[in-house]
Structure 1
């Protein structure tokens, strides 16, 4: 390999390296810029809390909440306990005789 070809290979490697590194550095700066422009609005995760809902629970909402809280016991999760009672009153769930509160 002659000296001219060696310089050509080195130049090509520098171009490829720059082509890979530059977008990565630029992306970091864009993330920093977006972080400084972030919204200050606070959002709450509705439906994923275990507290008793502050609103009357409909039958449709009770079904959804029961599905979301499937892994939790009624005794440990007040939200699931309230929605269970809503579904029992609406006759969508018939509790076992041993489970009636």
Structure 2
């Protein structure tokens, strides 16, 4: 059963950054609450978290092979989005904030 105040499409849009651990608290809290109630979104999050873990293991395994003066593109692509753009703000993204039920339309 999914909570009535959030939309799965909105949550799924935020799941990659949530899985990477780079989602801000304001957006992460409703995602976490939604995952407690929605099995489909929770399954998708678990799959994304598995990919993130595998990429981290790959990065760690490749790190000894890379020197500072000759980085490989593969290693740089496994860094988290936060490492690449620590001050980047996400624009044009719909928030996972609860929807108002004032007019009955969603």
- Report the TM-score range of the alignment, normalised by the length of the smaller protein: under 0.3
Rg larger for:
1
TM-score in terms of structure 2 length: 0.26
Higher-RCO chain (CA-CA 8 Å, sequence separation at least 6): 2
